[in-house]
Amino acid sequence: MRYLSRALLCLAVAGMFSTGAKAQEVVGNNQGDFNEFMDRSGNMYRAASGRPGPEYWQNETDYDIDVTLNDKDHIIKGKITLTYTNNSPQELDFIWMHLEQNRFTEDSRGTLTTPIQGNRYNGDIDGGYTISNLEAKVKRSSSSDYLINDTRMQVFFEDPIPAEGGKATVSMDFEYKIPVEGMDRMGRLDVEDGTIYALAQWFPKAAVYDDVEGWNIEPYLGAGEFYLDYGDYDYKITAPASHIVVASGELQNPRQVLSSTVRDRMERAKESDSTVYLIKPEEVNDMSLRAKQEGTLTWHFKMENTRDVAFGSSKAFIWDAAKIDLPSGKKAMAQSAYPKESDGQHAWSRSTEYSKASVEHYSEKWFEYPYPVAVNVAADIGGMEYPGLNFCGWKSEGASLWGVTDHEFGHNWFPMIVGSNERRYAWMDEGFNTFINYYSTLDFNDGEYPARLNKTRNMTGWFTSEQREGIDTYPDVSNLRNLGMIAYYKPAIGLLLMREYILGEERFDNAFKSYIETWAYKHPQPADFFNHMENVSGENLSWFFKKWFYGTGNIDLGLDGVQQYEGNYVISLTNKGEIPMPVKMKITYEDGSSENVTLPVEIWQRGDSWNYLHRTDKTIENVELDPDKILPDVSSGNDAWPNSFYED
């Protein structure tokens, strides 16, 4: 064997230097398109299989909160006690916390990075936190030392929080003015019967300390949303007795805050598939339906294993509800709270119907809804999601109301259950959610409203725009005109292509469900998603992930021609785009019959052209690429042979 190898080597060298031999060009190929990208190797915390590693950890944040809503001065005032569990392998001398109400000041980073002409993320500038009586305790040691910078607060401990299960408590009093404009995420709205308070980012909360970045403490600027640990919440809201308070989690004291009439209606709603009024439109100002006619009431809520809570409060609420049936046999409750300005069968009177259908669909198809309520609140907010509660536009109706309700409830799966980092990777929640919204909309009332995600060729103008950006662009960095595509539609189309074109429904669904189950209530990174989908589906998808999710290239498959060859046909194909894709084509014969042929993506590994030998004793009349028009192919003019043939 050794002698043969030497002989072959000598022949090769002799050939290179023989008289008259011409220099040989190195043959190029496209292997680089198929190589792994980014560091996706495993470690003790995150396995290369896309699963948490044997020493994966995350910290826990449990909250006890007691606040009062002052509807005269529009002020929230209260106290928070955070119990912080440090499951990391390092002891912690301090923790970082988010003070997101500090965005609403004149000199906040968010204010100073908002364009003069404004945008969706406008915010008031006369707010911000007042913090007092802070105490940070580890066992018997206590500290009152903290530092505030913009929307972040660093809390120091006298003794560090021990690693691997050590606990600390941080308590403080806080107060702030509720903004009218709350960056389209929270705020207040005046309607005829009162003010609607949409309360989110309403208390100081701990930042995430993880194995990837350490402290995740990017400032709250605008487009970037949230990244939070999980824990249990026990919170009380004292509001005027005239108010109805709806919130994330389960109401603990209905006898203290609800009249007997409303309690009876709620019991009926728990068993009803159709919407039941708790407060009817004509009863909004009927104080006999309140537990008290004057003073205040304290509403007590609890929610377990959640990353956040939010609430709505108003004396102007119409309130209705219905039961949600879950696959395990458990029940939850859909609720809607809205003013009379939003009432009507064309509008918010169908909100609870929409909410119930949305949650039931996602529970059946992907992962069971874990929360006791799903509340939809009408507010002056385009659409914003929190665990178990949405704020949606009070003027929305019809298809628009269905769309925003379904989208915001879909967020309970991404990122409320699968807890990705929204501030960095908006595509891992907005894009994934937009994808599952497509199937929910197809399913609702057998397609009552249109679902257009599969009309990918309607978006090729953006795909070829010189101003386009990559999906991996951080939301606070991206041009807001691109945000809808790079955070929502392009990643959603990516999943659609994986399901409908690349993997097929069965393989994709197995992998995607496994990803949700594996990372439920945990913190996946992009590499974890890529690794998991590859490992469960059994397909190396680096060629797609790298080019679609981390690039700005496009798809452009083409037909160069069809030639007869020894009684069969050679179909010449070309890849003129930057993204290789499997080839699906419909071949139609002279006798009117047709067949579909699929060629694997590996045909493009060696180069950008491929000749396919199609064996048949029939006469080919025409060939069409991507007959279902799933691909956002940026040049449809070369998708058919002969060129004059094209079916849209």
Contact 62, 87 (CB under 8 A): no
Answer whether residue 645 shows pLDDT above 70.
no
Instruction: Report the chain's mean pLDDT, rounded to a whole number.
Output: 95
| Stretch 66-78: mean pLDDT | 98
Percent of the chain residues past pLDDT 90, beyond the cut: 94
Strand partners, 610: 573
| Stretch 331-349: mean pLDDT | 98
CA distance 607 to 27: 10
| Stretch 402-411: mean pLDDT | 98
CA distance 454 to 440: 13
* H/E element, 335: strand 331-338
Q: Could you tell me the domains of the chain?
A: 58-188+199-221 (2.60.40), 230-402 (3.30.2010.30), 557-641 (2.60.40)
Contact 338, 378 (CB under 8 A): yes
Segment 123-147, tens digit of pLDDT: 999 999 999 999 999 999 999 999 9
| Stretch 397-409: mean pLDDT | 98
DSSP E strands, 162-287: 166-177, 181-182, 186-191, 194-199, 205-206, 208-210, 214-216, 231-240, 244-247, 250-251, 276-279
Answer whether residue 562 shows pLDDT above 70.
yes
Answer whether residue 1 shows pLDDT above 50.
no
| Stretch 469-484: mean pLDDT | 95
Q: Distance from first CA to last CA of the chain, Å, rounded?
A: 60
Q: Residue 28's pLDDT is what?
A: 78
Answer whether residue 592 shows pLDDT above 50.
yes
CA distance 418 to 297: 35
Segment 384-401, tens digit of pLDDT: 999 999 999 999 999 999
- Counting Cα atoms < 13 Å in the Cβ hemisphere of 264 gives 4
DSSP string, 105-170: BTT-HHHHTS-TT--TT-B-SB---EEEEEEEEETTEEE--EEEETTEEEEEEEEEEPTTTEEEEE
Query: Residue type at 311?
Result: F
State the pairing for strand pair 205-206/141-143. unpaired
Q: Residue 447's pLDDT is what?
A: 96
3-state secondary structure of 529: helix
Q: Residue 42's pLDDT is what?
A: 95
Query: Residue type at 487?
Result: A
Q: Residue 24's pLDDT is what?
A: 57
Sign of the dihedral defined by the CA atoms of residues 404, 406, 411, 416, in that order: positive
CA distance 372 to 261: 22
Q: Residue 12's pLDDT is what?
A: 43
DSSP string, 483-498: HIIIIIIHHHHHHHHI
Segment 168-222, tens digit of pLDDT: 999 999 999 999 999 999 999 999 999 999 999 999 999 999 999 999 999 999 9
The residue count of the chain comes to 648
CA distance 562 to 643: 11
CB crowding 27-54: b at 16 or more within 10 Å, else e: eeeeeebbeebeebeeeebbbeebbbee
> What is the pTM for the complete model shown?
0.94
Sort 446 into a burial class: Cβ within 10 Å, 0-12 / 13-18 / 19+. Answer: exposed
CB crowding 341-360: b at 16 or more within 10 Å, else e: bbeeeebbbbbbbbbbbbbb
Contact 508, 522 (CB under 8 A): no
Q: CB neighbours of 255 closer than 8 A, spacing ≥ 6?
A: 263
Q: CB neighbours of 646 closer than 8 A, spacing ≥ 6?
A: 624, 636, 639, 640
| Stretch 517-536: mean pLDDT | 98
CA distance 627 to 618: 20
Strand partners, 153: 97, 148
Q: Residue 3's pLDDT is what?
A: 42
> pLDDT band at residue 25, thresholds of 50, 70 and 90?
low
| Stretch 334-339: mean pLDDT | 98
Q: Residue 15's pLDDT is what?
A: 46
Segment 425-434, tens digit of pLDDT: 999 999 999 9
Q: Residue 643's pLDDT is what?
A: 79
Sort 56 into a burial class: Cβ within 10 Å, 0-12 / 13-18 / 19+. Answer: middle
DSSP string, 432-500: HHHHHHHHHHHHGGGTSS---TT-GGGGHHHHT-TT---TTS-TTTS-HHHHIIIIIIHHHHHHHHIII
CA distance 374 to 326: 12
CA distance 435 to 445: 19
3-state secondary structure of 430: helix
State the pairing for strand pair 331-338/311-314. unpaired
Q: Residue 26's pLDDT is what?
A: 65
Q: Residue 644's pLDDT is what?
A: 62
Q: Residue 646's pLDDT is what?
A: 53
| Stretch 514-531: mean pLDDT | 98
Contact 438, 233 (CB under 8 A): no
> pLDDT band at residue 21, thresholds of 50, 70 and 90?
very low
Answer whether residue 16 shows pLDDT above 50.
no
> pLDDT band at residue 8, thresholds of 50, 70 and 90?
very low
Answer whether residue 13 shows pLDDT above 60.
no
Q: Residue 446's pLDDT is what?
A: 96
Segment 277-311, tens digit of pLDDT: 999 999 999 999 999 999 999 999 999 999 999 99
CA distance 79 to 235: 10
